[in-house]
Amino acid sequence: MATNPAQRREGASASRARLGDRYRAWRHHHSLSAADSLRRVLDNPVSSVLTWLVIGIAMALPAALGIALDNARAVSGSWDSPAQISLFLEAEVDERQASELQRELGERGDIDAARLVPRDAALAEFAELSGFADVVASLEQNPLPHLLLVEPAAGVDPAQLRETFAALPAVDQAVLDMAWVQRLNNIMELSRRLVLALGGVLVLGVVLILGNTIRLAIESRRDEIVIVKLVGGSNAFVRRPFLYTGLWYGVGGGFFSALLVLAALFFLDGPVSHLASLYQSGFALQGIGLIGSLQLILLGGLLGLAGAWLAVSRHLGAIEPR
């Protein structure tokens, strides 16, 4: 091998790559890492599908509950507005006066409908529903007052309307049946928080599962990491393929969770529309749609990256050439 000083200088300066080349190489290594990680994930189809399923199930559970909640809200939304005011009339008001009042109320603009429940009909209904027919039959006189059921028009404050009616001389008591609406709303709020809490716990679970999977991947490639570090691989260089592995596991898990939710909805759609038709309701289940599915996949990818980052930052630094 012949030597001259010019050659030596060239050898030394050429050992540094140019910046543009380095950027291209950096991008190249990204695509290389992505492809290599994907190949490694697909090379073990059974364990990869199991990982995807675990993540998919953990993500599908809160997603499905959230969708159930959205649907419940859609159903209950139609019940929200027509709060009903019950007007119990004074005992001395007779049925003719009561229907007179019903007609008067029916003409008001702030009322959608007013229905009269005469005291005899109310007693008959009570006797039938309560099972106390004998007791009721033994009564000398009907203790119930006439009842007017009033539905406020949309946009009218039912509480204020109740005040107005309570002041009417014929009305003994005006009761606003809001309690059940409030209870329902409270239950909905409680369920929403439960779903959120469950979702939070399961998301944490997904991150930990992925972190553990990546930790095992790191362990199985320990020798390779040592060699790469010995020949000058930076931490970012070593980290990259594992982050992509996490990404692929997460994206696959998100895809599986979307599939599971779709399958569950498909499974429930028939019975739900049958039930709705029994109630003369046009209600149909709201699905997750394309956007929802993509969001699940995106979320899965982010969780995968987070889990991989967790594992990599904990375990990669510990692997140093010895």
Partner 1 sequence: MIQFERVSKRYAEGHDALREISLEIAPDDLVFLTGHSGAGKSTLLRLIMLMDRPSRGKVRVDGRDLATIGSRGIPAHRRNIGVVFQNHQLLFDRTVFDNVALPLVIAGYDHREIGRRVRAALDKVGLLARERAMPVTLSGGEQQRVGIARAVVGRPRILLADEPTGNLDPALSAEIMALFEAFNQVGVTVLIASHDLALISRLQHRIITLRDGQLVGGAA
Backbone angles phi, psi at 114, to 5 degrees: -130, 130
> Minimum Å distance from CB 32 to partner 1?
8
Distance CA 259, CA 110 (A): 49
The least CB distance from residue 6 to partner 1, in Å, is: 11
Nearer to partner 1 by C-beta: 98 or 225?
225
Contacts of residue 43, Cβ cutoff 8 Å, sequence gap at least 6: none
Compute the distance between CA of residue 145 and CA of residue 122 in angstroms, rounded to an integer.
Answer: 9
Question: The tokens of 20 are what?
Answer: 């543009």
Comparing CB distances to partner 1, the nearer of 82 and 233 is 233
DSSP 116: E
* Distance from C-alpha of 216 to C-alpha of 253, rounded to nearest angstrom: 18
Q: What is the spatial distance between Cα 109 and Cα 104, in angstroms, rounded to a whole number?
A: 11
φ and ψ at residue 48, rounded to 5 degrees = -70, -45
Minimum distance from residue 228 beta carbon to partner 1 (Å): 7
Residue with Cβ nearer partner 1 (12 or 278): 12
* Least distance to partner 1, CB of residue 267, Å: 44
| Nearer Cβ to partner 1 (3/280) | 3
Give least dist CB 28 to partner 1, A: 7
Amino acid at 208: L
Closest to 301 (Cα-Cα) out of 206, 237, 215: 206
Q: C-beta of 9: minimal distance to partner 1 in Å?
A: 9
Binding site for partner 1 (CB under 8 A): 1, 3, 7-8, 11-12, 14-15, 17, 21-22, 24-26, 28-29, 32, 223-224, 226-235, 237, 320-322
Q: Which is nearer to partner 1, 11 or 282 (CB)?
A: 11
Nearest residue (CB) to partner 1, 129 versus 318: 318
Provide the H-helix boundaries in 81-116: 95-107
3-class DSSP assignment, residue 81: coil
